[in-house]
Structure 1
Amino acid sequence: MRGGILIRRSRLDITLAILKIATNGAKKTQIVYGANLNSTIANKYLTRLEDKQLIEQKGNMFITTDKGRVYKDLASELDVR
């Protein structure tokens, strides 16, 4: 919320936040807090990102894959806000 106005983030914004947080590996709790998500929504994003091979789970850690890093870098370059 900014100045009393609720600002919604796009799916891309949330995806990029998760990929950035998990670049060097992160636990689910770190992703939830770092991306400001609740556990249910984080699970949906993590499942989707794993299905697309942008992130992988090793034990209790989530790590951005090489494909995920390329995606994050390209999407960040194209973001013209």
Structure 2
Amino acid sequence: MYCGGGVNIQRRSRTDIAVAILKIANNGAKKTHIVYEVNLNFNIAQKYLEMLKEKELIRNENGLFITTDKGKVFQDIAKEIEL
């Protein structure tokens, strides 16, 4: 997608964003860290974090989001089938 001014914006898939969140949360990360590292706004990040928790790919412990074993398997599979 071209957005004028010489800036080329590449849209990320939902899977790309989910994998990026899980990667940052591998060793535990606060929501703010995830927001800045994945370049999301807080509302979008919250929706992804809720979805990842529902699917048991991430858990929240004392304010830290941590990728579960199931989340690590998901990361590996997503990496293998990257299109």
TM-score by length of structure 1 reads 0.93
Counterpart code for 1:39: F
For structure 1, the residue ranges without an aligned partner over 5 or more in a row are none
The residue aligned with 1:13 is: 16
In 2, Cα distance between equivalents of 1:33 and 1:77: 26
Larger deviation, residues 59-68 vs 1-10: 1-10
CA offset digits 1:38-60 (Å, max 9, x no partner): 00000000000000000000011
State the percentage of identical aligned residues. Answer: 57
In 1, Cα distance between equivalents of 2:7 and 2:70: 38
Find 2:38's aligned residue among 35, 40, 48.
Answer: 35
RMSD: 1.5
The residue aligned with 2:68 is: 65
In 2, Cα distance between equivalents of 1:74 and 1:42: 22
TM-score by length of structure 2 reads 0.91
Counterpart code for 1:70: V
List structure 1 segments (4+ residues) > 4 angstroms apart after TM superposition: none
How many equivalent residue pairs? 80
Following superposition, the deviation at residue 5 of structure 1 comes to 2.0
1:46 is the counterpart of 2:49 = yes
Q: State the SS of the aligned residue for 1:43.
A: helix
In 2, Cα distance between equivalents of 1:75 and 1:4: 28
Following superposition, the deviation at residue 6 of structure 1 comes to 1.9
